[in-house]
Structure 1
Amino acid sequence: MTRQLSTRILVAVHVQDQCSVILQSMQEILPTSEVICVNEDRVLPELGAQVHQALIISDSNGIAASFAAQLRKIASYHPDLLIIPVLAADSQTHLQTAIELDVFFYLTTPLDPVEVDLAMKRLQAKLAHSPATAVRRAAAANRRIPGFIGGGPAMSMLFELIHRVAQDDYATVLIRGESGTGKELVAKAIHAKSKRRVHNFVPVNCAAIPDDLLESELFGHLKGSFTGAGQNKTGRIQYADQGTLFLDEIGDMKPALQAKLLRVLQEKEFEPVGSLKAIPVDTRIVAATHCDLETLVRKGDFREDLYYRLSVVPIQVPPLRERCEDIPLLLERFIEAFTVERGREKIAFSPEAVSLLMQYDWRGNVRELENLVQHMSILYSGRRIRPQDLPDKFLRSASEVVPETDGSLWPNNGLENEILQERADLFAAFAMPEKDQSIDLASGPVDFNDLINEFESELILTAMKFTAGNKKEAARLLCLKRTTLLEKIKKKGLEGTWL
């Protein structure tokens, strides 16, 4: 018997009456579906944390441009998602956006139960004929690119470029990107998609091999050509004949060796160390670097002619912070791999934790994310990971994210902005009483960290007192995320001390 895939539908409709009409219709027409209700501002983190087949969403703040931007972002990050927006009947902007994005269906307010039932029946029919989940679709698409996971715009462009480059078996490729982005995976994918895939893929890390050995490693040598050359050695260039030679960290190669590599590219031949006989070779060269080669060329550390020979087709691998929409898929891949490899129980990241990870800058890129999964799997085997379980650097990173404004404290407009600004001014006066708080350094050294810690604690307590213990409002006054404030209160042992 064929196992039916469960359907998960996300509902983000803030008006209670509207939500009730939709849920009642879903209960009757889609009774086996799993329905998750969230606030509109939690849609992206929830979509990132779990796979959903459909989304029903309304405009919570009444700002047409903001809602349109949110719909575009959701559609861009989750192209397989069936989106049903709930639109104001008189909003031309909403309607234009729905048409532009080609949403699955749209509802207008006030909701007509008959129209809602029609939407649910169409959704039922669509899901019945298309049962695969978004992750399976993404995985199926990415199976054509070995080793890669990603469904966002940045990776889609990279996949398309890999496909095109692989069709030409001779053009040299220069792959650029930060450490940990997967440059070698790109090289392997190009080889795997090309006609050369039946021959060797030979990687060489130019930074990992000492300069005096790299020439022999690449070109090979004859017996007795130098001290220690006890026998003939075949170089990696020859091993890569008919296949692909991948030169990682090409920017670390010394100029003398660059000249010999240039000959391979120009003449399609090379000479082993100690030999005068040129050996013809047919290999595709793919190079990679995290260095700024243009700067090295200007300094004279990298040959300009070699640079142009290598960069016939340049490929830029995006850093993880520029494709944060892929983090949930990568988490799933790494969790699954580590679980199988180590025989541990699976962990799961809460939507709030995923949201924090999507805000982090990931200087170590995909490699850093994989290390995090291994770290959390060891410490929290079989558990659900909450924001407070994450290492401190993720909480610090989130606390540094301050919303962009026009100079006032809050990004809202009109009367609400005036009220909030007035409350903030009152808080500032309350938090900073006019008294002499100068520090006398002449009397002795001062522990900077203790002072900062004390000031931070006093500021948190002041905010909690001012808001009568309302942590959400206190977090807004301090321009912190609520999870960050909760973590600080917990670490400092401040819970209840403001009462």
Structure 2
Amino acid sequence: MKKVLIADDEKNMIWAIKRALKNEDYTIITASNGKEAIDNVKLHEPDLVLLDLKMPEMNGLEALKNIKNEFPNIVAMMMTAHGSVKTAIEAMKIGAIDYISKPFDVEELKIQIRKALDIREMSDTIDYLTEELRNKTGKRIIGESKELKNVLNIVNKVAPSKATVLITGESGTGKELIANAIHFNSDRAKKPYIKVNCGALPENLLESELFGHEKGAFTGAINKKLGRFERADGGTIFLDEIGEIDLNVQVKLLRILQEREMERVGGTETIKVDVRIIAATNKDLFKMVEEGKFREDLYYRLNVIPIEIPPLRERKDDIKLLIDYFLDKYSKELGKKEFKITDEALDTLKDYEWRGNIRELENVIERLVILSENNLISKEKLPKEILNIRDELNEFKLPSSGINLEEVEKNLINQALKMTNFNQTKSAKLLGITRHALIYRIEKYNIDIKK
């Protein structure tokens, strides 16, 4: 329930406003002067402050200055029977978002209060929403391969639900784009969408960022801070690199998933949040559970709807589409004519393993567009590392006596496992296959991994 503070020295006016807002879902707090208004703001932390201009002890403008100094994000409206353009401009400069003159129409007042509260709700997430709503990211998912279509089919099914989603895949495969597509195709699309890179923040800062903190909770906490979960209330939070979260923070995250409630750091108030969680990782969380590095209960809470993004080397049918897209993108950005690519260059790029996936491909294409002296991408212009890999592949020769392909495959899998100290995810990456494909082959060849 939203809290509205009404500050006016006229009891009849307070009574009239309270009566007008009787059927609205607000908690009404009152004050009879500016100083009392400041005290009540500190005590109740209202969502909206409605200040009369003329009040004893301290007028509305002075009260507004004091409130804004200590609570810069608070939303305030001014009201007066002595309104003028000059005082309205002064109030706006101090930080009031609206101004209403007495006597006022009750319905007009209700509308202005609703608008002000909408601004309050948006203020903590506007920076995030502006960037995300600029482009409906589903349009940027490029590809027509069977593998990608399978992923998008899951996205279409899960987006309308409230289910928690865990997106897995190698770095650069487009996990964030899939998360964006889920949010923007859900009924929360117009609500906050908050992203957190869990691997970019140390444990103490991550906890404060996720759950917020109270004033004085720790050294440097000079003001109360809303956490990302509060900012995302009603919408979606995307937790990228979820495997980097410390065990202590995992406990709090588990509580939100189970109970939909939390406390700020240094606080005692239980805060309810309605947030859909989408998490992503390039790590093997199940293996982390086995190693005691990730909570098993949290893993199963996150893994309600698993979506595995295939690496680019497993969706080679999409490589040409991606190349065309990036050639068009960077030629336009750099003001160059339309680029073409030779068949030989395209075949070489298709054969490359793309360990960095789409991100690596994009970087290569951007480099080619920048450095190219004409508008044709030929094989000779490709980076040396790509050409060298192609040459290495061509060096493998089939002996005239033939080979046992299964023995070769088994031998390569054993080599990869030993090179990575039996880390299945890293071994799969070395071999250019998914972890699931590797596990299938380990079982097929009865390879002993209990080393």
Once the two structures are TM-superposed, the CA of residue 408 in structure 1 deviates from its matched residue by 2.4
1:309 matched to 2:301: yes
Query: Residue 477 of structure 1 corresponds to which residue in structure 2?
Result: none
1:164 matched to 2:118: no
Query: Residue 430 of structure 1 corresponds to which residue in structure 2?
Result: none
**Of residues 251, 254, 259 in structure 1, which corresponds to 2:243?**
251
Query: Residue 149 of structure 1 corresponds to which residue in structure 2?
Result: 142
Once the two structures are TM-superposed, the CA of residue 391 in structure 1 deviates from its matched residue by 1.2
Verify the 8 A CA contact 1:145 1:159 in the aligned structure 2: no
Please give the alpha-carbon distance, in whole angstroms, between the structure 1 residues aligned to 2:172 and 2:277.
21
Please give the alpha-carbon distance, in whole angstroms, between the structure 1 residues aligned to 2:206 and 2:399.
57
Query: Residue 206 of structure 1 corresponds to which residue in structure 2?
Result: 198
Please give the alpha-carbon distance, in whole angstroms, between the structure 2 residues aligned to 1:151 and 1:223.
51
* Paired amino acid for 1:325: D
**Of residues 361, 381, 384 in structure 2, which corresponds to 1:389?**
381
* Paired amino acid for 2:142: I
1:178 matched to 2:160: no
* Paired amino acid for 1:394: I
Once the two structures are TM-superposed, the CA of residue 401 in structure 1 deviates from its matched residue by 2.9
Verify the 8 A CA contact 2:173 2:309 in the aligned structure 1: yes
Please give the alpha-carbon distance, in whole angstroms, between the structure 2 residues aligned to 1:178 and 1:382.
34
Query: Residue 458 of structure 1 corresponds to which residue in structure 2?
Result: none
Once the two structures are TM-superposed, the CA of residue 378 in structure 1 deviates from its matched residue by 1.1
SS of the aligned residue for 2:234 comes to coil
Please give the alpha-carbon distance, in whole angstroms, between the structure 2 residues aligned to 1:243 and 1:338.
33
Verify the 8 A CA contact 1:162 1:186 in the aligned structure 2: yes
Please give the alpha-carbon distance, in whole angstroms, between the structure 2 residues aligned to 1:403 and 1:396.
11
* Paired amino acid for 1:280: K
Q: Aligned ranges for residues 12-411 of structure 1 at < 5 Å?
A: 145-168=138-161, 170-402=162-394, 407-408=399-400
Verify the 8 A CA contact 2:189 2:235 in the aligned structure 1: yes
Please give the alpha-carbon distance, in whole angstroms, between the structure 2 residues aligned to 1:331 and 1:289.
26
Verify the 8 A CA contact 2:237 2:277 in the aligned structure 1: yes
Verify the 8 A CA contact 1:162 1:190 in the aligned structure 2: yes
Please give the alpha-carbon distance, in whole angstroms, between the structure 1 residues aligned to 2:202 and 2:373.
41
Please give the alpha-carbon distance, in whole angstroms, between the structure 2 residues aligned to 1:329 and 1:171.
32
Q: Give RMSD over aligned pairs.
A: 1.9
Once the two structures are TM-superposed, the CA of residue 393 in structure 1 deviates from its matched residue by 1.7
* Paired amino acid for 2:380: Q
* Paired amino acid for 1:173: V
Verify the 8 A CA contact 1:347 1:380 in the aligned structure 2: no
Please give the alpha-carbon distance, in whole angstroms, between the structure 2 residues aligned to 1:319 and 1:153.
13
Verify the 8 A CA contact 1:220 1:273 in the aligned structure 2: yes
SS of the aligned residue for 1:314 comes to strand
Verify the 8 A CA contact 1:244 1:285 in the aligned structure 2: yes
Residue by residue, what CA displacement relative to the aligned partner does 1:268-308 show, whole Å, maximum 9, x if unpaired? 11111111111111110000000111111111110000000
Once the two structures are TM-superposed, the CA of residue 402 in structure 1 deviates from its matched residue by 4.8
Once the two structures are TM-superposed, the CA of residue 342 in structure 1 deviates from its matched residue by 2.1
- Normalising by structure 1, report the TM-score: 0.52
Verify the 8 A CA contact 1:221 1:232 in the aligned structure 2: yes
Verify the 8 A CA contact 1:346 1:381 in the aligned structure 2: no
* Paired amino acid for 1:160: N
Please give the alpha-carbon distance, in whole angstroms, between the structure 2 residues aligned to 1:278 and 1:298.
32
Please give the alpha-carbon distance, in whole angstroms, between the structure 1 residues aligned to 2:353 and 2:207.
38
Please give the alpha-carbon distance, in whole angstroms, between the structure 1 residues aligned to 2:320 and 2:394.
24
Please give the alpha-carbon distance, in whole angstroms, between the structure 2 residues aligned to 1:410 and 1:391.
34
Q: How many residues align?
A: 268
Please give the alpha-carbon distance, in whole angstroms, between the structure 2 residues aligned to 1:222 and 1:157.
45
Verify the 8 A CA contact 2:173 2:358 in the aligned structure 1: yes
Once the two structures are TM-superposed, the CA of residue 406 in structure 1 deviates from its matched residue by 7.4
Residue by residue, what CA displacement relative to the aligned partner does 1:229-279 show, whole Å, maximum 9, x if unpaired? 010111100111111100000100000000000000000111111111111
Query: Residue 87 of structure 1 corresponds to which residue in structure 2?
Result: none
Verify the 8 A CA contact 2:137 2:177 in the aligned structure 1: no
Please give the alpha-carbon distance, in whole angstroms, between the structure 2 residues aligned to 1:325 and 1:409.
34
SS of the aligned residue for 1:256 comes to helix
Please give the alpha-carbon distance, in whole angstroms, between the structure 1 residues aligned to 2:154 and 2:224.
40
Residue by residue, what CA displacement relative to the aligned partner does 1:178-216 show, whole Å, maximum 9, x if unpaired? 001111111000001111101011100000012110001
Please give the alpha-carbon distance, in whole angstroms, between the structure 2 residues aligned to 1:374 and 1:313.
35
Verify the 8 A CA contact 2:285 2:299 in the aligned structure 1: yes
Please give the alpha-carbon distance, in whole angstroms, between the structure 2 residues aligned to 1:381 and 1:370.
19
Once the two structures are TM-superposed, the CA of residue 400 in structure 1 deviates from its matched residue by 2.9
Verify the 8 A CA contact 1:346 1:377 in the aligned structure 2: no
**Gapped regions of structure 1 (runs ≥ 5):** 1-142, 412-499
Once the two structures are TM-superposed, the CA of residue 167 in structure 1 deviates from its matched residue by 2.1
Deviates more, 1:172-181 or 1:340-349: 340-349
- Normalising by structure 2, report the TM-score: 0.57
* Paired amino acid for 1:156: K
Verify the 8 A CA contact 1:344 1:381 in the aligned structure 2: no
Verify the 8 A CA contact 2:138 2:180 in the aligned structure 1: no
